[in-house]
Protein backbone atom coordinates (compact mmCIF):
# COMPACT_ATOMS: atom_id res chain seq x y z
CA UNK A 1 0.00 0.00 0.00
CA UNK A 2 2.90 2.35 0.82
CA UNK A 3 4.46 1.73 -2.60
CA UNK A 4 1.11 2.40 -4.28
CA UNK A 5 0.72 5.65 -2.35
CA UNK A 6 4.18 6.81 -3.39
CA UNK A 7 3.40 6.07 -7.02
CA UNK A 8 0.15 8.01 -6.77
CA UNK A 9 1.95 11.01 -5.24
CA UNK A 10 4.55 10.91 -8.02
CA UNK A 11 1.84 10.78 -10.69
CA UNK A 12 0.01 13.64 -9.01
CA UNK A 13 3.15 15.84 -9.00
CA UNK A 14 3.78 15.14 -12.67
CA UNK A 15 0.15 15.79 -13.59
CA UNK A 16 0.14 19.04 -11.60
CA UNK A 17 3.29 20.21 -13.37
CA UNK A 18 1.80 19.57 -16.82
CA UNK A 19 -1.49 21.22 -15.90
CA UNK A 20 0.38 24.24 -14.55
CA UNK A 21 2.42 24.55 -17.74
CA UNK A 22 -0.70 24.19 -19.88
CA UNK A 23 -2.38 26.96 -17.90
CA UNK A 24 0.63 29.21 -18.35
CA UNK A 25 0.69 28.57 -22.08
CA UNK A 26 -3.03 29.33 -22.32
CA UNK A 27 -2.66 32.54 -20.33
CA UNK A 28 0.30 33.68 -22.40
CA UNK A 29 -1.51 32.90 -25.65
CA UNK A 30 -4.64 34.74 -24.64
CA UNK A 31 -3.03 37.60 -22.76
CA UNK A 32 -5.86 37.47 -20.19
CA UNK A 33 -5.66 39.49 -16.96
CA UNK A 34 -2.01 40.28 -17.37
CA UNK A 35 -0.54 43.73 -16.79
CA UNK A 36 1.29 45.28 -19.73
CA UNK A 37 4.95 44.38 -19.98
CA UNK A 38 7.89 46.77 -20.30
CA UNK A 39 6.59 48.89 -17.45
CA UNK A 40 9.97 49.53 -15.81
CA UNK A 41 12.13 52.27 -17.26
CA UNK A 42 15.47 51.30 -15.68
CA UNK A 43 18.62 52.03 -17.64
CA UNK A 44 20.30 48.70 -16.83
CA UNK A 45 19.10 46.21 -19.44
CA UNK A 46 18.85 42.46 -18.95
CA UNK A 47 19.26 39.77 -21.58
CA UNK A 48 16.79 37.03 -20.65
CA UNK A 49 17.32 33.56 -22.18
CA UNK A 50 14.37 31.44 -23.35
CA UNK A 51 15.23 27.85 -24.24
CA UNK A 52 11.96 25.90 -24.04
CA UNK A 53 8.18 26.31 -24.12
CA UNK A 54 7.96 26.49 -20.32
CA UNK A 55 10.35 29.43 -20.29
CA UNK A 56 8.41 31.07 -23.11
CA UNK A 57 5.18 30.74 -21.15
CA UNK A 58 6.72 32.21 -18.00
CA UNK A 59 8.24 35.07 -19.98
CA UNK A 60 4.77 35.97 -21.24
CA UNK A 61 3.05 35.63 -17.87
CA UNK A 62 5.04 35.22 -14.64
CA UNK A 63 7.89 37.55 -15.59
CA UNK A 64 5.80 40.00 -17.56
CA UNK A 65 5.02 42.57 -14.83
CA UNK A 66 8.74 42.86 -14.03
CA UNK A 67 10.34 43.15 -17.47
CA UNK A 68 12.04 46.47 -18.20
CA UNK A 69 11.57 48.55 -21.33
CA UNK A 70 15.18 48.03 -22.35
CA UNK A 71 15.32 44.28 -21.60
CA UNK A 72 16.02 41.83 -24.43
CA UNK A 73 15.21 38.17 -25.00
CA UNK A 74 17.72 35.60 -26.22
CA UNK A 75 15.89 32.56 -27.63
CA UNK A 76 18.17 29.52 -27.57
CA UNK A 77 18.20 26.35 -29.69
CA UNK A 78 21.05 23.97 -30.43
CA UNK A 79 22.92 25.41 -27.48
CA UNK A 80 25.22 22.48 -26.68
CA UNK A 81 24.20 19.65 -28.98
CA UNK A 82 22.01 18.88 -31.97
CA UNK A 83 20.64 21.06 -34.74
CA UNK A 84 19.05 24.40 -34.03
CA UNK A 85 15.28 24.34 -34.48
CA UNK A 86 14.76 27.46 -36.59
CA UNK A 87 11.00 26.96 -36.82
CA UNK A 88 10.76 26.98 -33.02
CA UNK A 89 12.99 30.05 -32.78
CA UNK A 90 10.70 31.92 -35.17
CA UNK A 91 7.55 30.74 -33.41
CA UNK A 92 8.89 31.78 -30.00
CA UNK A 93 10.03 35.09 -31.44
CA UNK A 94 6.55 35.74 -32.77
CA UNK A 95 4.94 35.06 -29.39
CA UNK A 96 7.42 37.34 -27.61
CA UNK A 97 6.92 40.09 -30.18
CA UNK A 98 3.16 39.93 -29.53
CA UNK A 99 3.78 40.38 -25.81
CA UNK A 100 6.70 42.82 -26.01
CA UNK A 101 6.35 44.86 -29.21
CA UNK A 102 9.57 46.86 -28.67
CA UNK A 103 11.88 44.29 -27.07
CA UNK A 104 15.15 43.32 -28.73
CA UNK A 105 15.12 39.67 -29.85
CA UNK A 106 18.19 37.50 -30.39
CA UNK A 107 18.52 33.87 -31.51
CA UNK A 108 21.37 31.93 -29.89
CA UNK A 109 23.06 28.71 -30.96
CA UNK A 110 26.42 26.90 -30.89
CA UNK A 111 28.59 25.77 -33.78
CA UNK A 112 29.23 27.38 -37.14
CA UNK A 113 26.88 24.96 -38.91
CA UNK A 114 24.04 25.99 -36.63
CA UNK A 115 24.93 29.65 -37.03
CA UNK A 116 24.62 29.30 -40.80
CA UNK A 117 21.34 27.38 -40.43
CA UNK A 118 19.83 29.96 -38.09
CA UNK A 119 20.99 32.97 -40.10
CA UNK A 120 19.53 31.51 -43.29
CA UNK A 121 16.06 30.86 -41.87
CA UNK A 122 15.57 33.40 -39.09
CA UNK A 123 12.62 35.78 -39.06
CA UNK A 124 13.14 39.52 -39.51
CA UNK A 125 11.66 39.93 -36.02
CA UNK A 126 15.14 39.19 -34.70
CA UNK A 127 17.90 41.76 -34.37
CA UNK A 128 20.84 39.41 -34.17
CA UNK A 129 22.29 35.91 -33.97
CA UNK A 130 24.27 34.92 -30.88
CA UNK A 131 27.27 32.63 -31.43
CA UNK A 132 27.71 30.64 -28.20
CA UNK A 133 31.36 29.63 -27.84
CA UNK A 134 32.05 26.96 -25.20
CA UNK A 135 34.37 23.95 -24.88
CA UNK A 136 33.13 20.35 -24.98
CA UNK A 137 29.96 21.04 -26.97
CA UNK A 138 29.32 18.18 -29.45
CA UNK A 139 27.91 20.56 -32.07
CA UNK A 140 30.91 22.91 -31.85
CA UNK A 141 33.94 20.97 -33.13
CA UNK A 142 35.63 24.23 -34.10
CA UNK A 143 36.15 25.38 -30.49
CA UNK A 144 39.75 26.09 -29.53
CA UNK A 145 41.49 27.62 -26.54
CA UNK A 146 44.03 29.05 -28.97
CA UNK A 147 43.07 32.70 -29.24
CA UNK A 148 44.10 33.13 -32.89
CA UNK A 149 41.83 30.22 -33.84
CA UNK A 150 39.02 31.69 -31.73
CA UNK A 151 39.29 34.99 -33.61
CA UNK A 152 39.01 33.06 -36.88
CA UNK A 153 35.86 31.23 -35.70
CA UNK A 154 34.22 34.47 -34.60
CA UNK A 155 35.09 36.12 -37.91
CA UNK A 156 33.57 33.17 -39.77
CA UNK A 157 30.40 33.37 -37.68
CA UNK A 158 30.18 37.13 -38.23
CA UNK A 159 30.44 36.68 -41.99
CA UNK A 160 27.50 34.25 -42.03
CA UNK A 161 25.38 36.36 -39.69
CA UNK A 162 25.96 39.72 -41.35
CA UNK A 163 25.48 38.30 -44.84
CA UNK A 164 21.94 37.42 -43.75
CA UNK A 165 21.33 40.95 -42.48
CA UNK A 166 21.61 40.34 -38.72
CA UNK A 167 23.86 41.71 -36.00
CA UNK A 168 26.64 39.41 -34.84
CA UNK A 169 26.67 38.80 -31.09
CA UNK A 170 29.33 36.61 -29.48
CA UNK A 171 28.72 34.70 -26.24
CA UNK A 172 32.19 33.43 -25.38
CA UNK A 173 33.25 31.42 -22.37
CA UNK A 174 34.66 33.64 -19.65
CA UNK A 175 37.03 31.07 -18.21
CA UNK A 176 40.18 32.59 -19.78
CA UNK A 177 39.55 35.88 -17.94
CA UNK A 178 40.93 34.65 -14.61
CA UNK A 179 41.38 30.86 -14.75
CA UNK A 180 45.08 30.27 -14.04
CA UNK A 181 45.67 27.31 -16.36
CA UNK A 182 44.22 29.24 -19.33
CA UNK A 183 46.34 32.39 -19.01
CA UNK A 184 48.93 30.94 -21.38
CA UNK A 185 46.43 31.36 -24.23
CA UNK A 186 46.38 35.16 -23.74
CA UNK A 187 42.73 35.79 -24.53
CA UNK A 188 41.87 39.45 -25.04
CA UNK A 189 38.16 40.19 -25.03
CA UNK A 190 38.72 43.65 -26.46
CA UNK A 191 40.29 42.07 -29.53
CA UNK A 192 37.49 39.50 -29.68
CA UNK A 193 34.96 42.33 -29.54
CA UNK A 194 36.26 43.68 -32.84
CA UNK A 195 34.83 40.62 -34.63
CA UNK A 196 31.28 41.20 -33.33
CA UNK A 197 28.71 43.93 -32.83
CA UNK A 198 28.23 42.97 -29.19
CA UNK A 199 29.48 40.38 -26.65
CA UNK A 200 27.54 38.56 -23.93
CA UNK A 201 30.51 37.31 -21.86
CA UNK A 202 29.93 34.30 -19.60
CA UNK A 203 31.21 35.51 -16.24
CA UNK A 204 28.82 33.51 -14.06
CA UNK A 205 31.50 31.25 -12.55
CA UNK A 206 33.13 34.29 -10.93
CA UNK A 207 29.87 35.42 -9.35
CA UNK A 208 29.48 31.96 -7.87
CA UNK A 209 32.95 32.34 -6.32
CA UNK A 210 32.42 35.79 -4.79
CA UNK A 211 31.47 39.36 -5.64
CA UNK A 212 35.14 40.27 -5.25
CA UNK A 213 36.19 37.69 -7.86
CA UNK A 214 33.37 38.79 -10.15
CA UNK A 215 34.56 42.39 -9.82
CA UNK A 216 38.12 41.34 -10.72
CA UNK A 217 36.78 39.64 -13.85
CA UNK A 218 34.86 42.78 -14.82
CA UNK A 219 37.91 44.98 -14.29
CA UNK A 220 40.05 42.64 -16.40
CA UNK A 221 37.65 42.77 -19.34
CA UNK A 222 37.18 46.53 -19.00
CA UNK A 223 40.96 46.99 -19.14
CA UNK A 224 41.19 44.76 -22.22
CA UNK A 225 38.49 46.76 -23.98
CA UNK A 226 40.13 50.09 -23.17
CA UNK A 227 38.71 52.89 -25.36
CA UNK A 228 36.72 50.30 -27.34
CA UNK A 229 34.37 50.14 -24.37
CA UNK A 230 32.95 53.50 -25.42
CA UNK A 231 31.68 52.12 -28.73
CA UNK A 232 31.46 48.31 -28.45
CA UNK A 233 28.83 47.00 -26.07
CA UNK A 234 29.38 44.01 -23.78
CA UNK A 235 27.54 42.57 -20.80
CA UNK A 236 28.49 40.00 -18.12
CA UNK A 237 26.33 37.08 -16.96
CA UNK A 238 24.90 35.89 -13.65
CA UNK A 239 22.86 32.74 -12.96
CA UNK A 240 19.98 32.29 -10.50
CA UNK A 241 19.18 28.71 -11.52
CA UNK A 242 20.15 26.71 -8.38
CA UNK A 243 20.69 23.55 -10.44
CA UNK A 244 23.12 25.19 -12.87
CA UNK A 245 26.83 24.55 -12.26
CA UNK A 246 27.41 28.26 -11.64
CA UNK A 247 24.09 29.08 -10.02
CA UNK A 248 24.02 31.50 -7.08
CA UNK A 249 21.47 32.88 -4.68
CA UNK A 250 19.37 35.81 -5.83
CA UNK A 251 21.16 38.04 -3.32
CA UNK A 252 24.58 37.02 -4.64
CA UNK A 253 23.53 37.60 -8.26
CA UNK A 254 22.11 40.99 -7.35
CA UNK A 255 25.35 41.97 -5.60
CA UNK A 256 27.35 40.97 -8.68
CA UNK A 257 25.07 43.02 -10.91
CA UNK A 258 25.54 46.00 -8.59
CA UNK A 259 29.27 45.67 -9.22
CA UNK A 260 28.58 45.78 -12.97
CA UNK A 261 26.31 48.81 -12.56
CA UNK A 262 28.94 50.61 -10.47
CA UNK A 263 31.38 50.20 -13.37
CA UNK A 264 28.97 51.70 -15.87
CA UNK A 265 28.19 48.51 -17.78
CA UNK A 266 24.90 48.73 -19.72
CA UNK A 267 23.36 45.43 -18.61
CA UNK A 268 23.78 41.73 -17.88
CA UNK A 269 22.57 38.34 -19.02
CA UNK A 270 20.30 36.72 -16.41
CA UNK A 271 20.36 32.93 -16.76
CA UNK A 272 17.35 31.35 -15.06
CA UNK A 273 15.23 28.21 -15.12
CA UNK A 274 11.46 27.91 -15.66
CA UNK A 275 11.43 25.39 -12.80
CA UNK A 276 12.60 28.18 -10.49
CA UNK A 277 10.85 31.12 -12.14
CA UNK A 278 10.18 32.63 -8.72
CA UNK A 279 13.91 33.23 -8.32
CA UNK A 280 13.99 35.20 -11.57
CA UNK A 281 11.01 37.23 -10.35
CA UNK A 282 12.79 37.93 -7.04
CA UNK A 283 15.86 39.14 -8.92
CA UNK A 284 13.83 41.36 -11.25
CA UNK A 285 11.87 42.83 -8.34
CA UNK A 286 15.10 43.68 -6.50
CA UNK A 287 16.62 45.27 -9.60
CA UNK A 288 13.47 47.30 -10.28
CA UNK A 289 13.20 48.40 -6.65
CA UNK A 290 16.77 49.68 -6.70
CA UNK A 291 16.09 51.56 -9.95
CA UNK A 292 12.91 53.10 -8.54
CA UNK A 293 14.83 54.36 -5.50
CA UNK A 294 17.23 56.39 -7.64
CA UNK A 295 16.60 60.16 -7.87
CA UNK A 296 14.61 61.22 -10.93
CA UNK A 297 16.71 62.68 -13.74
Residue 1 CA, chain-centre distance (Å), reads 46
Q: What pTM value is reported for the model?
A: 0.87
- Look at residue 81 in the predicted model and tell me its pLDDT: 87
- Look at residue 293 in the predicted model and tell me its pLDDT: 77
Q: How far apart are CA 133 and CA 144, in angstroms?
A: 9
- Look at residue 34 in the predicted model and tell me its pLDDT: 40
Q: How far apart are CA 133 and CA 235, in angstroms?
A: 15
Closest CA to 141 of 156, 126, 163, 129: 156
Residues of the chain under the 50 pLDDT cut: 1-38
- Look at residue 40 in the predicted model and tell me its pLDDT: 62
- Look at residue 124 in the predicted model and tell me its pLDDT: 98
- Look at residue 27 in the predicted model and tell me its pLDDT: 45
- Look at residue 42 in the predicted model and tell me its pLDDT: 87
Amino acid sequence: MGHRARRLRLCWRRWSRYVGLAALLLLSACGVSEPPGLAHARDFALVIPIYNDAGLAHARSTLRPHIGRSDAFMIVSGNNEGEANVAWLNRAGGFLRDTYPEARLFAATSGLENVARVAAGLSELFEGVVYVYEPNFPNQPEFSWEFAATLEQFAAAAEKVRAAGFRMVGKPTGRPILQANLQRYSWNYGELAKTADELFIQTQTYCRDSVRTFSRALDTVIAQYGPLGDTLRWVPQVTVDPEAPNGTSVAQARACVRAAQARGLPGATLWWSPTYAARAVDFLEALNADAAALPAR
